[in-house]
Amino acid sequence: MSGTEAGAERRPHPSRRDAHAPAPRRALAPLALAAALAAAPALAQTTITVQHPLPVASHYGAGATALKEAFEAATGGRYRVNIQRNDNEREVIESVQIGTVDCYIGSTGPVGNFVPETRVFDVPFLFRDYAHARGVLDSDIGQGVLNRFQARGLVGVVWMENGFRHLTNSRREVHTPADVRGLKVRTMENQVHMRAFQTLGALPTPMAFSELVPALQQGTVDGQENPIPVIVANNLNQVQRYLTLTGHVYSPGILICNPDVLRRMSAADRTAFDAAARAGRDANRAKVTADENSGIEALRARGMQVTTSVDTAAFQTALAQAFQVYERELDGALLRRIRDWRPAS
């Protein structure tokens, strides 16, 4: 029945009350509050979207969350960081470049296709250990490569971390380079990594991370290579039986943003963002360290057969031809500077 219910007492609707009659006192409070709020300067809030490819409990999730908390606190809520998962790293970087996504946290796997200078960090057996990798990336060497992003329509804000990559497969134990021969190995869309596996006699099959698990389930590829944190966070033990701790290459992580997003920040907010990015890096690296310490036992407990005794020298010898190409095609002098880097005493 439209209008008022039949029989209901008809009372003038408050809005129809005589506009000139004094409103009762209690009605003033909401009106006064509304007037006060209308007069207060609106709390303009800007949202920054950060996309990364892994679960929230991962090392990237840890980094993104720490960045979010630090930046929102430092700006008093004027900025909000919206974290989203997208496991196609190349697509996310393309979206950051055209401005449909503000920032990316992820590996440098596909980054060499946008900023070729980063490929120097993708060379197998380049870094001795985590301290060496983190020290180089945080030094003028790492900053020098970050500075190359601007010319490609991106901003490399800070290096983060994915970790040392290890080989998994579903066919056999791997102890020596000969065991890798003939394996169809998924690699990232990374020319440096593909050449390495080709040189070992494997069949490198580049694809985005988003396609990896289906490819392993369907047997399109026999194996893949990733750091322990990635293997653990994605339960790759469910589709891979053998893990060999090759540690064949260090995989940097990185925070990349669209230049306009940062350009629109005040100097103070940009300083706060850079500090929050470093807080994100530190949380990300701490999570990698934690996962490295607990992840191998966790993967054994989940049924993976783990080979720890790896003839690293044999792998380095087997890659000699690839190393010659890297010296020629990449910045050979920079490679030597990286190998020779030592922490300040």
Rounded to a whole number of angstroms, the minimum distance from the CB of residue 167 to ligand EAX is 12
In this complex, which beta carbon is closest to ligand EAX, that of residue 106 or of residue 295?
106
Distance (Å, whole) CA 187 – CA 280: 27
In this complex, which beta carbon is closest to ligand EAX, that of residue 120 or of residue 272?
120
* Residue 107 interacts with ligand EAX (CB under 6 A): yes or no: yes
Instruction: Select the span of 105-113, 172-180, 266-274, 322-330 touching ligand EAX (CB under 6 A).
Output: 105-113
One symbol per residue from 123 to 162: x for binding ligand EAX (CB under 6 A), - otherwise; what is it? ---------------------------------------x
* Residue 188 interacts with ligand EAX (CB under 6 A): yes or no: yes
Instruction: Select the span of 40-48, 101-109, 174-182, 273-281 touching ligand EAX (CB under 6 A).
Output: 101-109
- How many residues appear in the chain? 345
* Residue 109 interacts with ligand EAX (CB under 6 A): yes or no: yes
How far the first Cα of the chain sits from its last, in Å, is 86
Query: Which of 61, 81, 89, 273 touches ligand EAX by CB under 6 A?
Result: 89
Rounded to a whole number of angstroms, the minimum distance from the CB of residue 207 to ligand EAX is 8
Query: Which of 63, 106, 112, 124 touches ligand EAX by CB under 6 A?
Result: 106
* Residue 251 interacts with ligand EAX (CB under 6 A): yes or no: yes
Contacts with ligand EAX, residue ranges (CB under 6 A): 53-54, 89, 106-107, 109, 162, 188, 209, 226, 230, 251
